[in-house]
């Protein structure tokens, strides 16, 4: 069976005010506290375009390699629904701001358990279009009534539509992860799925190998987590295969996702062929984009792919490490602040990704309030490089830095930590270890070079991690020859 998936992603833009009025955009405010005649759809109220929302739309289009229309306009989509009191939504139909473009997928955007088994590495998922519209109000279904909160009504919303060329639930996961990263890089949206700032409808159809015509399109509505999208699509693939194997014919239908049950459920069969009677909104003049494109272009950030490549080239880190660093904009900025001008940028990447990340996780802190500054981490790495402290001592010093915010050199001085580099003292330790381990010593003499590491480990242990490992290696080798 061949799986075909297309996504429609809704992204709340990061503007201070709404799309067509001056009401603030704020998550979690008291219901209906951010409203005015325009976003309540009162008769006679007139919309005014939020220029920043248009800039962010065009910036998104530029980041995703879209063609930007030189002139674009808003249309009215006519329908009746309680969350939309004007009885039409202002959206874009005939001339959206952005056409085509793509989202590049990368290995680390896939779910962890699927990264070893990627079907089409470096795939680009093509887009159909990106348009700008206003969000509708939120309805809450209470016991005997329905409440509507108009705070969300009129919030600037991007709709990003992909071509139906995603071929697995894992690829859909990678698409959303990679797209979200780019949106965060451009500071276009906070893209927090839990807050509904990134939502997604999935279209999925299955067809037998060799059949070119697409199977019945099943839509899963209102997905609000990337892992939920993966699980919902995986469930649908199984459900549809089983149905087709039983000889059933699938019908076009709309389904919902019950996350706790781990199942999709039928919402409605047969889509109505809605006639929305789109027409250009007479209250809003067409928008010429030339100046806005210029402004958006000046705000183009370095994109995740470019950052990954540059980290490899400029700092000599592995492609994998560069990927993990670039996955998180703040982590990448931290690493870069530490690595700029550093003698050992590769060690800094290791420290950032291992010790620092796990200390932050243990403390439940984010990189934004990390008690160890990038410069302080660089100083620590330099102390190890210079042989002042051993790698093992550095781990201790790091934990102390994290707990107290003191610098590495202050802690080293205060605690009298230093690496044992006195050759006579190390020789004594080596003699003791060789005497206590006659077999590995004999093995090494017989040409078993790996035995040296064992003996070295024993000396390090005996010195409680303070001995200079390079010196230990040298002295052991000399003694065993
Ligand atoms: Zn308003």
Can you tell me the distance from the alpha carbon of 121 to that of 106, in angstroms, rounded to the nearest whole number?
Answer: 7
Q: Which two tokens stand for residue 14?
A: 């990061």
Q: In the predicted model, is pLDDT for residue 113 greater than 90?
A: yes
- Cα 392 to Cα 461: distance, rounded to the nearest angstrom: 10
Distance 89 CA to ligand 1 centre (A): 14
Instruction: Give the whole-number percent of the chain exceeding pLDDT 70.
Output: 99
Average pLDDT, the chain: 92
Which two tokens mark 113?
A: 């358990």
Q: Tell which wins on pLDDT, 248 or 70.
A: 70
How many whole angstroms separate alpha carbon 198 and alpha carbon 189? 9
158 C-alpha vs ligand 1 centroid, how far in Å?
A: 18
CATH architecture of 423-480: Orthogonal Bundle (1.10)
Q: How far is the CA of 150 from the centre of ligand 1 (A)?
A: 9
- CA angle 441-429-410, nearest 5°? 135
In angstroms and rounded to an integer, the radius of gyration of the C-alpha atoms of the chain is: 30
Taking the centre of ligand 1 as the mean of its atom positions, its distance from the CA of residue 23, in whole angstroms, is 4
Q: Which residue has the higher pLDDT, 418 or 404?
A: 404
The pLDDT assigned to 257 comes to 95
User: Cα(137) to centroid of ligand 1, in Å?
Assistant: 12
Neighbours of 472 (CB within 10 A): 26
- Please tell me the distance between residue 256's alpha carbon and the centre of ligand 1 in angstroms: 31
How much distance in Å is there from the Cα of 138 to the middle of ligand 1? 15
- Tell me how far the alpha carbon of residue 153 lies from the centroid of ligand 1, in angstroms: 8
Strand segments (E) across 2-83 = 2-12, 67-68, 71-72, 75-78
Q: How far is the CA of 289 from the centre of ligand 1 (A)?
A: 25
Chain centroid to CA 397 = 32
pLDDT at 393: 85
State how far the Cα of 34 lies from the Cα of 237, in Å rounded to an integer: 42
Q: What pLDDT, in 10s, does the model give residues 64-107?
A: 999 999 999 999 999 988 888 899 999 999 999 999 999 999 99
Mean pLDDT for the stretch of residues 418-422: 76
Question: Ligand 1 mean position to 35 CA, how many Å?
Answer: 4
Among 21, 292, 278, which residue's Cα sits nearest to residue 134? 21
Band of residue 449 on the pLDDT scale cut at 50, 70, 90 = confident
Q: Phi-psi bin for 316: left (phi > 0), alpha (psi -120 to 50), beta? A: left
Given a contact cutoff of 8 angstroms between Cβ atoms, the answer to whether 404 and 376 are in contact is: no
Instruction: Give 19 Cα–ligand 1 centroid separation in angstroms.
Output: 9
Distance 18 CA to ligand 1 centre (A): 7
DSSP 260: T
Instruction: Give me the pLDDT at residue 271, please.
Output: 62
In angstroms, the CA 132 to CA 11 distance is 10
If you measure from the C-alpha of residue 50 to the centroid of ligand 1, how many angstroms do you get, rounded to a whole number? 12
Q: How far is the CA of 299 from the centre of ligand 1 (A)?
A: 28
Closest CA to 156 of 202, 181, 188: 188
pLDDT digits (tens, 9 = 90+) for 118-164: 999 999 999 999 999 999 999 888 899 999 999 999 999 999 999 99
In the chain, which residues fall in CATH 1.10.10.410? 423-480
pLDDT at 424: 85
Burial 14-34 (b: 16+ CB within 10 A, else e): bbebbbbbebebeeeeeeeeb
CA distances from 384 to 79, 391, 397 (A): 68, 6, 11
H or E stretch covering 96: none
**The pLDDT value given to residue 326:** 95
Ligand 1 centroid vs 475 CA: distance in angstroms?
Answer: 77
Measure the CA–CA gap between 22 and 15, rounded to whole angstroms. 11
């Amino acid at each position: 069976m061949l799986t075909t998936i297309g996504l429609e992603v809704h992204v709340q833009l990061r503007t201070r005010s709404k799309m067509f009025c001056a009401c603030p955009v704020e998550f979690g405010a008291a219901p209906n506290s951010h409203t005015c005649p325009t976003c309540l759809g009162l008769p006679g109220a007139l919309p005014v375009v939020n220029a920043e929302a248009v800039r962010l739309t065009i910036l998104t289009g530029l980041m995703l390699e879209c063609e930007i229309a030189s002139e674009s306009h808003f249309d009215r989509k006519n329908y009746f629904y309680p969350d939309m009191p004007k009885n039409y939504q202002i959206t874009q139909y005939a001339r959206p701001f952005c056409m085509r473009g793509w989202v590049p997928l990368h290995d680390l955007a896939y779910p962890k358990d699927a990264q070893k088994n990627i079907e089409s590495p470096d795939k680009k998922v093509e887009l159909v279009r990106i348009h700008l519209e206003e969000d509708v109000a939120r309805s809450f279904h209470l016991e005997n009534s329905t409440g509507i909160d108009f705070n969300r009504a009129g919030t600037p919303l991007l709709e990003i539509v992909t071509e139906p060329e995603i071929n697995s639930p894992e690829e859909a996961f990678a698409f959303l992860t990679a797209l979200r990263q780019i949106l965060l890089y451009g500071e276009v949206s906070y893209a927090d799925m839990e807050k509904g700032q990134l939502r997604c409808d999935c279209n999925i159809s299955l067809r037998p190998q060799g059949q070119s015509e697409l199977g019945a399109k099943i839509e899963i509505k209102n997905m609000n987590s990337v892992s939920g999208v993966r699980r919902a699509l995986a469930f649908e693939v199984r459900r549809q295969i089983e149905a087709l194997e039983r000889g059933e014919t699938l019908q076009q239908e709309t389904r919902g996702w019950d996350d706790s049950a781990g199942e999709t459920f039928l919402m409605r069969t047969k889509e109505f062929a809605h006639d929305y009677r789109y027409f250009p909104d007479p209250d809003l003049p067409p928008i010429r984009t030339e100046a806005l494109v210029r402004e958006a272009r000046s705000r183009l950030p370095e994109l995740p792919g470019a950052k990954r490549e540059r980290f490899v080239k400029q700092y000599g880190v592995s492609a994998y490490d560069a990927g993990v660093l670039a996955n998180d904009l703040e982590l990448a900025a931290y690493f870069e602040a530490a690595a700029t001008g550093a003698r050992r940028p590769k060690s800094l990447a290791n420290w950032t990704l291992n010790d620092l990340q796990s200390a932050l996780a243990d403390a439940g802190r984010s990189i934004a309030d990390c008690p160890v500054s990038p410069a302080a981490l660089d100083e620590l790495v330099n102390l190890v490089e210079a042989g002042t402290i051993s790698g093992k001592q550095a781990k201790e010093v790091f934990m102390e830095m994290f707990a107290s915010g003191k610098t590495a050199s202050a802690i080293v001085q205060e605690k009298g930590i230093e690496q044992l580099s006195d050759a006579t003292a190390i020789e004594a330790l080596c003699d003791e270890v060789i005497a206590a381990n006659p077999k590995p010593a004999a093995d090494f003499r017989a040409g078993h070079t790996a035995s040296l590491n064992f003996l070295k480990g024993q000396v390090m242990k005996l010195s409680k991690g303070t001995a200079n490992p390079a010196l230990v290696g040298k002295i052991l080798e000399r003694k065993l020859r």
